[in-house]
Chain A
C-alpha cells in the first residue's frame, strides 16, 4: 500500500512539471498582455513599454521561463500583477470559500443522490424510476447560471428566506480566523455569524450540486440495477436473508464502488464548476479569483492557480483510489 502511494505521489511530479511548462507558454500565447489590461484605456505606448520592463515581460520568453522555473524551485509562485499579492497567499486565502461551497454541493448530491439512485435502481421501470431518471436528466442539462436565477427568484425574491450573494451579511462585523466562515462562527462562539454563513451556502450549494447530484443518481441507479441481478444476491435471497440485510450487505456495498469513483471525479469537476457558481453568487473563492485573472491576463495567478488546482485534483484522485480498499477488500489484497 505504501509503495503504491509513494509511486503515485512520484508520478505527480513529472505531471505537474509538464503542466507548469504548458501553462507558462499557454498563458503567453493568449492574445493581449497584462500591461495593456492594467493600463486599460489609459495605456500609452511608452507606459506599456515601461510596465513591461518593470515586470520583465520585455525579456526573451526563454529567459522569462528560466526565471519562472528558478522561482518555482524556491517555492516562489510570484505575485499577482493586478492585485499585487503573492499567488500562494491568494490561493490559500480563497480556498476555504471554494471548499465550503463544494462541500455543501457534494453533501447535497450524495445525501440525496445515493438514496434516489438506489430507489430507482431497485424499482426499475416504475413510475418513481421514470421521474427520478427524467429529473436527473434535467439536472445535468440545466445551466448553473439559469438555475441560480431560478433559485434566487424563488428563495430570495418570492419567499425572502435566503440571501442571494456573498458569504456573510455585510452588516455583521465578525472575525474570520480560518476563513471557513461556518467554522469561524463556531470557533468565535458567534451563533449569528455561524447561522448567517450557513444560510449563505444553501443556494450556491444547491446550484453547484445539481449536476453531481444528477450524475450520482444515474450511476447509483445503473450500478444497483446491475448488482441486483448478480448470483450472490440470488444466493442471499435463497439463503432466506432479510431484504434489509441483502440490500445493505450485498447490493449497496457492491454497487458503491463505481459511485465512489464518480464522487471522486465530481470533486474535481466541482472545482471547475465553482468558477461559474462563485461568480453568479459572488463568493470570493478560487473560481472567482481565477475568472478575474483571466480577464486581465494575470500570468502569475493563472499559472499558479491552475497548477494548485491540478495538484488538488491529483491528490483527490489518489485518495479516491485509496478509499476503494475500504469498500472492496479485493482491492486491498491486490
Chain B
C-alpha cells in the first residue's frame, strides 16, 4: 500500500460509483455520500500528493521497470508523430525547451531555464541550461536549438509535409520553407551558447506552451544529419534515425526496439538532472486491455494506463494501485445542425435539459471524473465561470420540445463500439444511459453503432447525414485553441452549423500575442458557445493508471507528459 492517501480516496470513489450502479447489495457497508465537488478535485489533489511523495522515495530498487503500452510507437522521431504511444517513449528519451509544471499543463522550465517574449508577440528569447549533453555526447546549446527549428521548417516535399506525418508543425506553424502557406516560424538567432531567439511571422500566444509538446523535443543535430536525412518525396519516418537512433537529452537513452514486442531504454549516465531510478525501462506492447490487467496481476508488468472502469475493482481486489490522471479533456454529446430539427435552438436546449450528467459521470465514467459545463477543462486559460448552464430537468425538456413542435422527435444516435478513449472509457455504457434519459422525455432514439476507426470517425467527421453522437478530445498542451479551435474553428461535418461570429472570434483570439490578453476573449467565446449550444458538454473523465504495489515515485501529468525516471520498483 504505497500510496495511502490516494488509495483511500480512490477506493471511496469506486465504492460510491459502484453503489450508484445498483450494486451496493454486493458490499457489506453502506456507501459514503460522494460530494461531486470533493470528487472533482480528487485527481488533482492525488497528483499533488504523489508528486510530493515522489521526492522522497528510495533512490534505487529493482533494475528493470516494465510499463505496458497499448501499441508500438509509430517510430522514434517525435517530430513526425502525433500519437500517445510514440510520445510516451519520446518523453523518456527527449526533452523540450519547455516542460510542464508537475500536475499541471502550465509551462515550466525544461532545457530553457527562462524565456521572455516581445510585446508584439513576434519574438521569444530563451536562456538555456548550461553543460547539457545529447546521448551521442554532442553539446546541447543555442546552435542546436536553431538546427532543430531549421530541421522542422525545412522538411522536404512529399510525405514529410503531410498531416499524417508532421501534424503538429502543420497545425501550429502552418507552413514549411518555400511552401504555399506562410509559416508562423520565421527565423532563429543564437546570440550565445546559452541564449537563443525565435522570431515568428505572426503572433502566436500558444508558442511557449506548444514548446512542451514532445513533437518539438530537442534532438541531436549531429545524429539527425547523419542518420535522418531524406530527399523530396521520401518517407522521413523510415530513416535509420527514426527507427534505431533517436538521440535526445532525456534521463533514458534508446537501447532497442523489437517491433510489435517492446522498446527498451537504459538510464543516461550523463543526464543533467537526477538520473533515472531504474537502470532499464521496458515498454512492451500489449494491445488487449484484459491481457494487460492479467499481466499486471500476474507480475509480468509493473504498470499500464487507460484502465477500463470495469477493471478497476478487480485490480484493487488484487492489491494493485490505481492512480488517476487529472482530467485535461472533454466528453460531449455532439448535435449535427444539418439534421432537422437539431438546427432549432429549443430542441438542442431540450436535449441538454434531458441529460443527467451527474448520473452519466457516476455510472459510466471512472471515479473522480467531473461534470462539464463547457467545452474546455477547468484548468485551461479562458475557462468561464459564467456560462449558461442547462440543469437536469426532464419536465422543462418536454416543454421545450412542445414549444419547438417536436414532441414526436426521432433522432439517430451514433456511438462507437469496441473502443476506449481517455475521455470515453466505455462508450456503450455512456450511450445506453443517455439514450434512456432522452427516451424518458419522449425522444425516440435510433441507435447507430460503428467501429471507431475508420467507420465512426468517417461518419461523424466526414459525412453530414448523422444526428447526435458521442465524442470528445484530450488536450495536447495548454492552449485554449487546442480545444475551441479544433471544435468550432470553422464549419464542419461534425457540427453542421455556420456561425461566422464564433469562427471569427476564435480566429481573432488565436492571433492575440499573450495568454493574458486571450483570457477574457476565450471566456466570452465559451459563454457564446454555451448559449448557442452546438452540443452538450458531458464530463471531464479521469483516465486511470494501474501499478504493482511495489511501484513508488510515480505521478501523473494532465497532458500525458509522464516521465518514468522518478519511478522505483521497490522490494
Q: Provide a sorted-by-A list of 29 A–B residue pairs whose CB atoms are within 8 angstroms.
A: A32-B453, A32-B458, A35-B164, A36-B453, A36-B454, A36-B458, A39-B164, A40-B457, A41-B461, A41-B471, A42-B163, A43-B163, A43-B457, A43-B461, A47-B162, A51-B163, A54-B159, A54-B164, A83-B74, A160-B298, A164-B300, A166-B261, A166-B286, A170-B301, A280-B290, A281-B291, A282-B295, A289-B260, A292-B71
Which of chain B's residues have a CB closer than 8 A to the CB of A292?
A: 71, 287
**A163 beta carbon closer than 8 Å to chain B:** yes
Which of chain B's residues have a CB closer than 8 A to the CB of A34?
A: 454
Instruction: Tell me the nearest residue of chain A to B296, going by C-beta.
Output: A164
Contacts A51-B164, A84-B235; is A41 near B457 (CB within 8 Å)? Answer: yes
**CB-based contact A295/B162 at 8 Å:** no
**CB-based contact A84/B74 at 8 Å:** yes
Number of A-B contacts (CB under 8 A): 143
Of B17-25, B188-196, B277-285, which stretch is located at the interface? B277-285
**CB-based contact A170/B164 at 8 Å:** no
Interface residues of B in 251-297 (CB under 8 A from A): 258-262, 264, 280, 282, 284-288, 290-291, 294-295, 297
A282–B287 alpha-carbon span in the complex (Å): 7
A37–B64 alpha-carbon span in the complex (Å): 35
Instruction: Tell me the nearest residue of chain A to B283, going by C-beta.
Output: A170
Contact mask for chain B residues 458-488; partner A; CB cutoff 8 A; 1 contact, 0 none: 1001100000000101000000000000000
A171–B302 alpha-carbon span in the complex (Å): 11
Which of chain A's residues have a CB closer than 8 A to the CB of B75?
A: 84
Contact mask for chain A residues 38-66; partner B; CB cutoff 8 A; 1 contact, 0 none: 11111110111011011000000000000
**CB-based contact A170/B294 at 8 Å:** no
Give the B interface residue count (CB, 8 A). 50
B326, chain A: closest CB distance, angstroms = 21
Instruction: Tell me the nearest residue of chain B to A280, going by C-beta.
Output: B288
Given contacts A170-B284, A282-B286, 19 further A-B contacts (CB under 8 A): A36-B453, A36-B462, A42-B167, A43-B457, A43-B462, A54-B164, A82-B74, A83-B72, A84-B235, A90-B259, A163-B298, A165-B288, A170-B66, A170-B282, A173-B280, A282-B295, A284-B259, A288-B260, A297-B454
Contacts A32-B454, A282-B291; is A85 near B259 (CB within 8 Å)? Answer: yes
A42, chain B: closest CB distance, angstroms = 6
**A94 beta carbon closer than 8 Å to chain B:** yes
Which of chain A's residues have a CB closer than 8 A to the CB of B384?
A: none
**B237 beta carbon closer than 8 Å to chain A:** yes
Interface positions of B (Cβ within 8 A of A): 64, 66, 71-72, 74-75, 82, 158-159, 161-164, 167, 170-171, 235, 237-238, 258-262, 264, 280, 282, 284-288, 290-291, 294-295, 297-298, 300-301, 451, 453-455, 457-458, 461-462, 471, 473
B484, chain A: closest CB distance, angstroms = 15
A44–B491 alpha-carbon span in the complex (Å): 11
**CB-based contact B163/A165 at 8 Å:** no
A181, chain B: closest CB distance, angstroms = 10
Which of chain A's residues have a CB closer than 8 A to the CB of B171?
A: 42
A85–B66 alpha-carbon span in the complex (Å): 26
B461, chain A: closest CB distance, angstroms = 6
A292–B259 alpha-carbon span in the complex (Å): 13
**CB-based contact B260/A165 at 8 Å:** no
**A192 beta carbon closer than 8 Å to chain B:** no
A297–B453 alpha-carbon span in the complex (Å): 9
Which of chain B's residues have a CB closer than 8 A to the CB of A38?
A: 164
Which of chain B's residues have a CB closer than 8 A to the CB of A32?
A: 453-455, 458
Which of chain B's residues have a CB closer than 8 A to the CB of A297?
A: 454
A164–B295 alpha-carbon span in the complex (Å): 6
Which of chain B's residues have a CB closer than 8 A to the CB of A33?
A: 454, 458
A185, chain B: closest CB distance, angstroms = 15
Contacts A35-B164, A39-B164, A157-B298; is A167 near B261 (CB within 8 Å)? Answer: yes
Which of chain B's residues have a CB closer than 8 A to the CB of A169?
A: 300
**CB-based contact A165/B300 at 8 Å:** yes
Contact mask for chain A residues 14-38; partner B; CB cutoff 8 A; 1 contact, 0 none: 0000000000000000011111111
Which of A37, A42, A292, A295 has most B Cβ within 10 Å?
A42
**CB-based contact A165/B295 at 8 Å:** yes
Which of chain B's residues have a CB closer than 8 A to the CB of A31?
A: 454-455, 458
Which of chain A's residues have a CB closer than 8 A to the CB of B170?
A: 47
B122, chain A: closest CB distance, angstroms = 26
Closest 3 pairs between A and B when the two form their complex, measured CB to CB: A32-B454, A47-B163, A284-B260
**CB-based contact A157/B294 at 8 Å:** yes
**A12 beta carbon closer than 8 Å to chain B:** no
A48–B259 alpha-carbon span in the complex (Å): 27
